[in-house]
């Protein structure tokens, strides 16, 4: 695909869509045309880009025509309807929803981890789940050095992963609690302000949440490791933005924490901040607004022969969603992966 | 020891001390005399008990005389100074600090788990770390049924574990964030409002925090399982009260989640709330103000042959501290363990 690109952004008025516009502008993505689109329930009818107000067009088959690439920041139902239409009209659709991620013919891509997978697309490339993107950047260099056998991950996920309405709900509820008045829960089933909910996406009959299952299946697909053993518990915490996670990693061969730290620091997209005795470890406030997967508290897990504990933090709207999608779009330019 | 008891409460004006007074009153603990004491930095000079204001006396050797039992809700430095003095003057000291927990001659007791250990005391009984108490109530019935080989725990701990000043700091910082003004951090090294800190107590040279090491060593001592393999990451979350944790448990023999749920529900002090598809799982708001270890999200961990995931939530000031200490004091009455 030759730059400049005729680019569409579907779901441009949501939390991820707005971040995509910001990332495109920051990275000076080579645009011939930019068409922001939104479905009927759009939060607003215009968006800012490069100092101008752009009208938001309806997300329709007609408006998907004449584009080279379309970034979809839409939910699975909307993606199922419009992503194939975009592909059929000749564009490459990069979809942030879970709708196509596990489809065999659809590459699931994290550019630092499996960039070559993108080349095999048939018009659709899936952007992984936010927590999965964050985790695989940590796993990849460790896997290459010592072969990962099992991962036990627990997440601390911010409300921005749910969207703008959830950010507003946390703010309103927090204010109510501080003012001593009752809270109202609309977006989440229970109060999220000053409370943690072990509940992200729907539950299956075995008691796992879909977010947990995504972290298992998507990680295997991206890592090309279909038998990798992963266990996940996903928890929503009263934080506005960025996700954190504890990752207990069991490896086949021994890996010194100092060596793991070096490998992580050398891996693109990863930033190590790890001197806890000096008060240095990443938090969600550090990660917010930038594209790094921040890593700290790298240490031995003394409960297994070859084990490491890692604490990882990432802005879920940026590298966890918008930035990764834009990076995939960049991969397609000038045959980088096409 | 014969009731009624001449009881002292040291550190009576702190978060745990105040909760001890509440628990003593609620449980109608058989008192001949109650002497609240505090060190020089006491938050106030009187406390409420059973509808009356009691003067808070200085924590001194003289004031520790003539008591049968003294509950210490003090930090390790103060406990090291006064706990042996209380024991020397003939009382049984029940100490909530970490000062004596790992001493060989000091029982470390969770009444539902190892009540008989209390009988071996030589004047000092240690009250375990809040997160440890919460976890061992979950582990015990599972260990009896299937023999636990390894535990991987990640915590979501509230600020009340740090004390009253931390509760105030979270409140002030949250208000500042909502009002869009800068926050000030005094109690914690970084902002805790709308942020998670993987940092509880001091770090050692290997990069583990003392809280994490406590969860390993204290669990082994209470369970009488010196080789139990435990891995822990402890995280402070912006929640006022109650601690939550994810616990990945690997067992020697298979244990169906449904059977584990039944065993947990039948275990004293544990309450199961586990129907996630119907929106039922415990949160920190559910646990706050009561003595139960709430358990939910009991399910298979598919990444090991015999594994379970559990989500547990407990009021850290009550069962995690005050209630457990009062229960130990109750064990001593009428030779229940003496």
List Cα–Cα distances, A31 to A64, A89, A165, B75, B178, in angstroms. 16, 19, 30, 62, 37
B178 CB within 8 Å of a chain A CB? yes
Q: Each residue of A269-289: pLDDT tens digit?
A: 999 999 999 999 999 999 999
Q: Between chain A and chain B, how many beta carbons pairs sit less than 8 Å apart?
A: 169
Per CB-CB distance under 8 Å, the chain B contacts of A209 are: 276
Measured distance CA(A248)–CA(A306) in Å, rounded = 11
Measured distance CA(A82)–CA(A18) in Å, rounded = 19
Residue B121 has pLDDT above 60, yes or no: yes
Q: What is the pTM of this model?
A: 0.97
Q: Each residue of A99-109: pLDDT tens digit?
A: 999 999 999 99
Q: Each residue of B226-250: pLDDT tens digit?
A: 999 999 999 999 999 999 999 999 9
Q: What percent of chain A has pLDDT over 90?
A: 96
Per CB-CB distance under 8 Å, the chain A contacts of B208 are: 299
- ipTM value > 0.90: yes
Query: What's the confidence (pLDDT) of residue B41?
Result: 67
Q: What is the mean pLDDT of residues B155-166?
A: 97
Least CB-CB distance to A206: which of B189, B197, B300? B300
B258 CB within 8 Å of a chain A CB? no
Measured distance CA(A258)–CA(A265) in Å, rounded = 11
Best of A237, A247, A258, A284 to disrupt the B interface (most B CBs within 10 Å) is A237
Q: What is the mean pLDDT of residues B167-181?
A: 98
Query: What's the confidence (pLDDT) of residue B338?
Result: 42
Q: Each residue of A7-35: pLDDT tens digit?
A: 999 999 999 999 999 999 999 999 999 99
The confidence band for A338, taking pLDDT boundaries of 50, 70 and 90, is very low
Measured distance CA(A284)–CA(B236) in Å, rounded = 12
Q: Each residue of A121-137: pLDDT tens digit?
A: 999 999 999 999 999 99
Q: Each residue of B210-228: pLDDT tens digit?
A: 999 999 999 999 999 999 9
Residue A335 has pLDDT above 90, yes or no: no
Measured distance CA(A102)–CA(A104) in Å, rounded = 6
Per CB-CB distance under 8 Å, the chain A contacts of B296 are: 198
Catalytic positions of B, please? 130, 243
Instruction: Decide: A127 and A94 in contact? Cβ < 8 Å.
Output: yes
Q: What is the mean pLDDT of residues A182-202?
A: 97
Measured distance CA(B284)–CA(B311) in Å, rounded = 11
The confidence band for A1, taking pLDDT boundaries of 50, 70 and 90, is confident
Q: What is the mean pLDDT of residues A155-173?
A: 97
Residue A208 has pLDDT above 80, yes or no: yes
B94 strand-pairing partners: B71, B125
Shortest distance, CA B302 to any CA of chain A (angstroms) = 7
The confidence band for A169, taking pLDDT boundaries of 50, 70 and 90, is very high
Q: What ranges make up the beta strands (E) of chain B?
A: 5-10, 31-38, 46-49, 52-55, 57-58, 69-72, 92-95, 124-126, 148-156, 229-233, 243-251, 270-272, 293-300, 307-314
Shortest distance, CA A314 to any CA of chain B (angstroms) = 12
Q: What is the mean pLDDT of residues B187-202?
A: 97
Q: What percent of chain A has pLDDT over 70?
A: 98
Measured distance CA(A55)–CA(A316) in Å, rounded = 26
Query: What's the confidence (pLDDT) of residue A337?
Result: 46
Query: What's the confidence (pLDDT) of residue B200?
Result: 97
Average pLDDT of the residues of chain A = 96
In this structure, what token pair is assigned to residue B308? 């379970």
A27 CB within 8 Å of a chain B CB? no
A65 contacts: CB under 8 Å, gap ≥ 6: A89
Query: What's the confidence (pLDDT) of residue A103?
Result: 98
Per CB-CB distance under 8 Å, the chain A contacts of B276 are: 199, 203, 207, 209
Q: What percent of chain B has pLDDT over 70?
A: 98
Estimate the crossing angle of helix A210-223 against helix A130-146, to 10 degrees.
40
Average pLDDT of the residues of chain B = 96
Measured distance CA(B115)–CA(B110) in Å, rounded = 7
Instruction: Decide: B174 and B193 in contact? Cβ < 8 Å.
Output: yes
C-alpha distance across the termini of chain A, in Å: 7
Per CB-CB distance under 8 Å, the chain B contacts of A152 are: 152, 248, 301, 303
Q: How would you label A66-99 residue by residue, b for 16+ Cβ within 10 Å and e otherwise?
A: ebbbbbbbbbeebbeebbbbbbebebbbbbbbbb
Residue B14 has pLDDT above 60, yes or no: yes
The SS3 assignment for A144 reads: helix
B236 contacts: CB under 8 Å, gap ≥ 6: B157, B158, B159, B161, B162, B188, B192, B196, B197, B198, B199, B200
B residues 260-319 closer than 8 Å to A (CB): 274, 276-277, 279, 281, 283-285, 296-304, 307, 309, 311
Measured distance CA(A8)–CA(A36) in Å, rounded = 6
């Amino acid at each position: 695909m030759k730059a400049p690109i005729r680019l569409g952004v579907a779901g441009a008025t949501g939390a991820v869509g707005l971040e995509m516009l910001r990332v495109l502008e920051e990275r000076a993505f080579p645009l011939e045309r930019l068409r922001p689109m939104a479905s009927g329930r759009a939060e607003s009818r215009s968006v800012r880009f490069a100092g101008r107000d752009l009208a938001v067009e309806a997300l329709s088959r007609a408006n998907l025509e004449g584009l080279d690439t379309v970034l979809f920041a839409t939910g699975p139902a909307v993606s199922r309807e419009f992503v194939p239409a975009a592909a059929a009209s000749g564009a490459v659709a990069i979809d942030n929803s879970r709708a196509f991620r596990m489809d065999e013919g659809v590459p699931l891509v994290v550019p630092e981890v499996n960039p070559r997978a993108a080349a095999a697309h048939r018009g659709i490339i899936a952007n992984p789940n936010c927590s999965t993107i964050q985790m695989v950047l940590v796993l990849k260099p460790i896997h290459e050095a010592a072969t990962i056998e099992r991962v036990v991950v627990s997440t601390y996920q911010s409300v921005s992963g749910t969207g703008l309405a959830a950010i507003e709900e946390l703010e309103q509820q927090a204010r109510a609690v501080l003012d001593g008045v009752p809270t109202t829960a609309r977006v989440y089933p229970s109060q999220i302000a000053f409370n943690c909910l072990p509940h992200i996406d729907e539950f299956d009959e075995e008691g796992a949440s879909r977010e947990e299952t995504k972290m298992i299946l998507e990680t295997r697909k991206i890592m090309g490791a279909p038998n990798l053993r992963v266990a996940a518990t996903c928890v929503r915490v009263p934080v506005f933005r960025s996700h954190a996670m504890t990752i207990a990693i069991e490896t086949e061969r021994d890996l010194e924490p100092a060596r793991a730290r070096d490998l992580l620091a050398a891996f693109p997209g990863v930033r190590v901040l790890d001197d806890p005795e000096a008060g240095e470890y990443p938090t969600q406030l550090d990660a917010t607004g930038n594209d790094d997967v921040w890593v700290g508290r790298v240490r031995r897990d003394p409960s297994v022969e070859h084990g490491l504990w890692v604490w990882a933090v990432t802005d879920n709207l940026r590298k966890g969603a918008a930035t990764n999608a834009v990076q995939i779009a960049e991969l397609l330019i000038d045959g980088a992966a096409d």
